[in-house]
């Protein structure tokens, strides 16, 4: 099993910044992709940003230029630097990892999420 734990959520004013972190642990052979998703009340979960093991990034149009994803493959950690936060960014942000576990196969794992609140 792989466990993902997020941290760093909180409450900020519009225009403020937060840095989210995700730590992966467990029976990991390789993590091919890691990413952040978010879900606001009444809405479906949506992609925020992803990063491959080789460093290729993908961002939702709504966060380009404001959010930056990074990862440390050696430590199995990932961060999301969020700047210029707006009320529409408020959501539960969840960490996702696409992993290969030796002798088992490919799986997607999710963290339990961290709350980001942006005041109006």
% of residues, the chain, pLDDT over 70? 99
% of residues, the chain, pLDDT over 90? 82
Say if residue 120's pLDDT is above 90: no
Kindly state the DSSP code that residue 84 receives in the 8-state scheme: S
Q: What is the reported pLDDT for 27?
A: 76
Q: What is the reported pLDDT for 84?
A: 98
pLDDT digits (tens, 9 = 90+) for 43-88: 999 999 999 999 999 999 999 999 999 999 888 899 999 999 999 9
CA distances from 120 to 7, 32, 83, 115 (A): 23, 37, 16, 16
Say if residue 29's pLDDT is above 80: no
- 105: which residues sit within 8 A by CB, 6+ positions away? none
Q: Other C-beta atoms within 10 Å of 34: how many?
A: 26
């Amino acid at each position: 099993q792989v466990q993902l734990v997020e941290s760093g959520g909180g409450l900020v004013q519009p225009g403020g910044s937060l840095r989210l972190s995700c730590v992966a642990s467990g029976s990991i052979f390789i993590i091919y992709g890691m990413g952040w998703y978010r879900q606001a009340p009444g809405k479906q979960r949506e992609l925020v940003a992803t990063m491959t093991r080789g460093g290729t990034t993908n961002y939702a149009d709504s966060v380009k230029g404001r959010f930056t994803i990074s990862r440390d493959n050696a430590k199995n950690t990932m961060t999301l630097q969020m700047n210029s936060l707006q009320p529409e960014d408020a959501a539960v942000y969840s960490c996702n990892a696409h992993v290969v576990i030796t002798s088992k196969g490919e799986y997607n794992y999710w963290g339990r999420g961290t709350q980001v609140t942006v005041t109006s």
